[in-house]
Structure 1
Amino acid sequence: MTRHKYNVLKGIKPSSTYKYDAFISYANDETDFIVNEVIPNLERDDNMTLCVHQRDFIAGEEITQNITDGIHQSKRTICTLTRSFLDSYYFMFEFNMVRMESIYSRDGQNILFLIFYEQLRPKDLPLVILELVHSQSYIEYPNDEQENVLFWDKIKKALA
């Protein structure tokens, strides 16, 4: 019986095809950054497909369902950390949904990528984010033309 159950579970493969390369989690205050920097650098220049709530969420659907679907259909999730994002209502919801997706659907695989779009002090970060920063990689947005090229290259490699 155990052997049969093992063989059945062994035959189930995790989905390696996703509708999106990345779900972009951000506050509305960072819309200009997403529209003018993220989308052109990742979608237009590198042919990635991003899930951006203002463009890809289904009208009339509950926002929580749209968020959950976007995360589930994306290979990775990029959180753009700013003060306004940390203060937003949906920040912790999105963060927790990514963690649940990682644990229950992706066998603990790290699917969260953090971008610090503005300088944040450690004391301003929730404990769960601070723990994540200490245990995993993150990247800071340089806001400098020459360093931006390296910044986008690093993000493209992380999403590949």
Structure 2
Amino acid sequence: MALSIDLAVMVTVIVLVLVYKYRWKLRYMFHLAKSKHYCDKASHDHGKYTFDAFISYCDDDRSFVLKDSIGNLENEGNYKLCVHQRDFLPGQEITVNITNAIHYSRKTVCIITRTFFESYCCIFEINMARKENMYSREGKNIIFLVFLEQIPLTMLELIEKQSYKINNPITKK
């Protein structure tokens, strides 16, 4: 009896450790499967994307993104961008909207500030883009980081431990 309880506890601990270790991969796969259920069909790298880029940013940086960046890129650069205020489907879960935006965009552009790393949605977006990069795009780099301010190296190290790696040219002086 005690042996079976010990075995059950051991198996439970191992499963929990594995789920925690692969949490972002599991979330990505879950949300991608969920988005395929809600949408017609996914664009599996046939060169046909709805958007040129998905712009990931914190709401504190909305003014820069909406006034400075989007106007220039869409009007002068002739790019079609996905921005959550304008392009997310109402009534759909935010995680499904994020996953679809990344999956149907050629690139993901992350506007990096200190507040970006304080937002759960921003962390979710960069991790989903990273998983898209690894599993659906055969390792082709789809993530562009735009640093609006200098980020302390300690913050980047903390973020790196949360499951993704960032190379910051600003702090490598």
User: Larger radius of gyration, structure 1 or 2?
Assistant: 2
Q: Does 1:83 align with 2:117?
A: no
TM-score after normalising by structure 1: 0.72
Query: In the alignment, what sits opposite 1:26?
Result: 57
Q: Is the 8 A contact 1:122 1:130 kept in 2?
A: no
Given the alignment, which residue of 73, 97, 102 partners 1:42?
73
Deviations 1:100-139 (A, max 9, x none): 11111100111000000112111122126984216xxx68
SS in structure 2 opposite 1:132? coil
Q: How many residues align?
A: 124
Given the alignment, which residue of 132, 146, 156 partners 2:166?
132
Query: In the alignment, what sits opposite 1:66?
Result: 97
- Partners in 2 of 1:52 and 1:70 — Cα distance? 9
Query: In the alignment, what sits opposite 2:87?
Result: 56
- Partners in 2 of 1:93 and 1:130 — Cα distance? 11
- Please report the RMSD computed on the Cα atoms of aligned residues, expressed in angstroms: 1.9
Given the alignment, which residue of 93, 108, 111 partners 2:139?
108
- Partners in 2 of 1:30 and 1:116 — Cα distance? 12
Given the alignment, which residue of 138, 144, 152 partners 1:121?
152
SS in structure 1 opposite 2:166? helix
TM-score after normalising by structure 2: 0.67
Ranges of 4+ aligned residues in structure 1 off by more than 3 Å: 128-131
Report the identity percentage: 47
Structure 1, gaps ≥5 residues long: 1-12, 140-160
Shift of 1:49: 0.4
- Partners in 1 of 2:164 and 2:93 — Cα distance? 30
CA change 1:130–1:123 in 2 (3 A) is farther
Q: Is the 8 A contact 2:116 2:123 kept in 1?
A: no
- Partners in 2 of 1:71 and 1:131 — Cα distance? 18
